[in-house]
Structure 1
Amino acid sequence: MASKEPAMNGTIVMTGASRGIGRVAAERILREWPDVHLLVVARGSSGARLSAELSAGGRTVSYVAADLGSLESVRSAATEIRDRLNSGDLPPLRGFVGNAGMQYTNALTEGPDGFEATFAVNVLANHVFVRLLEDCFAFPARIVITVSDTHFGDFKHNMGMVPGPAWRSPDVLARTGAFPKPDTTTGGRTAYSTSKLAAIYLVHEYARRLPAGIDVVAYNPGFVPGTDLARNADPVSRFAMRRIMPAMTLTPFATSRSAAGRYLADVVLGTTKAPTGSYVDHGRVVRSSDESYDPLREGELWDAAERFTTARPA
């Protein structure tokens, strides 16, 4: 974190605020920063409903609609936010929270741009926002990207539920069928853990490339049952995640939505002190996996993300 915490007024842009830990974090941010303008990015008409709910009590909340699986939609949303910031319609930009995430039951789901859907939402959408808003940040500012300890790939962190990442060239990872048995849940979960490793790689690269005064932090909430992360899973798995596994929050193996959301808000607010490029596990700065520190992969992924997200002439 920079030596000064972000100012009490300003704009924070947030994805994934509709439900789960994001909703808890959004409410806490608004309570702790009464003068903040929270701009939520949400799909379709849900943004209007969400902003109305969050603005109860006189808080300042607005929204921009976007489908995070579509780079064209994300680019349009980011451009609209940038234009509003530059025109003075929004107060200075103090933060971006890339909390939205997706996990599919296969590694064959393709988005409208031809990219594998997990990679598009969990990696490329955040990259578009960071790059298009980069020049709009007022210092000091903080970017927080929600990642996952599934990137460790061991039983301690995954409890055998999610396969570890299987790194490939970004040109392979960005397309469907990058992993063995791509038509299975195992393939989809491998795509998820690999996308979270990729997100950490980009956090490290952002920390090197962004101007001083813009800190970027990876946040791991741990295993949080009861969220809609697995909303594309089969009915039995969805029932287990929503109705059975929440009981695990009574053990050390899982985190409740309220706790995970509070930890996320504290990272955004600067209450949790974290230097740029760091990995915050719950409320502590720790070291991420050994595999997650690889400057060659980080640079390669940066170059690929730049290619993938650059708008092409019509």
Structure 2
Amino acid sequence: MTGATRGIGLAAAEELLRRTPDAHLLVLGRTESAAQVLPRLQALTPHVSTIDVDLASTASIDSAASLVEDLLDEGGLPPLRAMVFNAGVHLDSAVHTTVDGYETTFAVNVLATHLLLRRLHPHLHAPARVVVTVSDAHFGDLRHTAGTFPSTGWTTPDVLFRPGAYPRPSTVRAGRRAYATSKLGGIHLVHEWARRLPAGVDIVAYNPSLVIGTGLARDAGGVSDVLMRYVVPALALTPLVDTPSAAGRKLADAVLGVTAAPTGSYIHRTHVAPSSKESYDVGREEELWAWLEDAARNIGGDADAAHRSG
């Protein structure tokens, strides 16, 4: 599981451990963050371990995936039954650059998920479920985001993974557009993987919708931080907003299959719902897949791993 050290992810991790105390939870995250929450998780069950990874570095992702594979092959971990990709970033512009030269939002929110999944999915034992946390920000409209996010700005993967892909890229608005567009990319990724994973291995997108106190907008700047600090909490007593603990329980439901959903589905909090009309574009999904596969081969990943499933 990525993104298990704070907010929704930490709440979901605790819920998963309470419900399945005999399962082993492997947290992929920064060593510093994981060390802070490991005692809290191990208080629920000793079956928790961590592996250091920087999701903005393809070399770090490759190293972490290799360690997971070694543990699985050598029996250091039980059979792999689920993968949860909950980590994500929301930044104050669209010019942040990873060590590999990619735009950071897309690198962390899309590329990292693909790289880990393509390496580790052959180890999944059916029945298994993969869950990718997305966002209704991908709608980019007033109804779903209350005007906090602009419309998405999908062009081509080659452009979107390049720093400065949006108009006035150094602005907070461009950072919000990069986030919304990356979450659209996450849904495209789920759709394409759903067509390629073997029978018995399902993949779904989980949208927690509005959640207070996650810290996601801490680096977003501008109105996003203000809204999440002062406006959204005022809605906490309404059905429109969840706390991290409530959203974490719903994420755990998605992981454990309590929320019934066929592969490729978009789970909105507690039920399957349509994602945006824009998100159902097979040609765009195939183009994204091809770009991600080229990127994986260029960084020295296993060129055949993703094709063994399809």
Taking structure 2 as the reference length, the TM-score comes to 0.93
Residue number among 102, 105, 108 corresponding to 2:95 in the alignment: 108
* C-alpha contact 2:18 2:44 (8 A) present in aligned 1: no
Residue number among 162, 181, 198 corresponding to 2:168 in the alignment: 181
**Which residue does the alignment assign to 2:208?**
221
Could you list the per-position Cα deviations for residues 4-31 of structure 1 after superposition, in whole angstroms to 9, with x for gaps in the alignment? xxxxxxxxxx000111111110000001
Shift of 1:48: 2.9
Shift of 1:174: 0.4
**Which residue does the alignment assign to 2:243?**
256
Could you list the per-position Cα deviations for residues 209-262 of structure 1 after superposition, in whole angstroms to 9, with x for gaps in the alignment? 011111000000001122111121349864653455322222343222122111
Which runs of no fewer than 5 residues in structure 2 stay unpaired?
301-310
Task: Tell me the matched-pair count.
Answer: 301
Could you list the per-position Cα deviations for residues 83-139 of structure 1 after superposition, in whole angstroms to 9, with x for gaps in the alignment? 110111000000110000100000000011100000011001110110000111111
**Which residue does the alignment assign to 1:294?**
281
Shift of 1:310: 2.6
The answer to whether residue 231 in structure 2 is matched with residue 282 in structure 1 is: no
Could you list the per-position Cα deviations for residues 196-219 of structure 1 after superposition, in whole angstroms to 9, with x for gaps in the alignment? 000100100000001111100000
* C-alpha contact 2:172 2:221 (8 A) present in aligned 1: no
Alignment of 1:86-235 (within 5 A): 86-234=73-221
**Which residue does the alignment assign to 2:7?**
20
Q: CA RMSD in A?
A: 1.7
The answer to whether residue 79 in structure 2 is matched with residue 69 in structure 1 is: no
**Which residue does the alignment assign to 1:3?**
none
**Which residue does the alignment assign to 1:246?**
233
In the aligned structure 2, how far is the partner of 1:224 from the partner of 1:65? 27
**Which residue does the alignment assign to 1:49?**
36
Could you list the per-position Cα deviations for residues 54-92 of structure 1 after superposition, in whole angstroms to 9, with x for gaps in the alignment? 011433100000111111111111111011101110000
In the aligned structure 2, how far is the partner of 1:192 from the partner of 1:156? 18
In the aligned structure 1, how far is the partner of 2:258 from the partner of 2:299? 41
Do the aligned partners of residues 297 and 234 (structure 1) sit closer, same or farther apart at CA in structure 2, a change above 3 Å counting?
closer
Q: Does the residue aligned with 2:125 lie in a helix, a strand or coil? A: strand
Q: Does the residue aligned with 1:198 lie in a helix, a strand or coil? A: helix
Q: Which amino acid aligns with 1:77?
A: A
Greater Cα offset, 62-71 or 239-248: 239-248
In the aligned structure 2, how far is the partner of 1:259 from the partner of 1:310? 39
In the aligned structure 1, how far is the partner of 2:229 from the partner of 2:119? 36
Taking structure 1 as the reference length, the TM-score comes to 0.92
**Which residue does the alignment assign to 2:306?**
none
**Which residue does the alignment assign to 1:272?**
259
Percent identity over the alignment is 53
Which runs of no fewer than 5 residues in structure 1 stay unpaired?
1-13
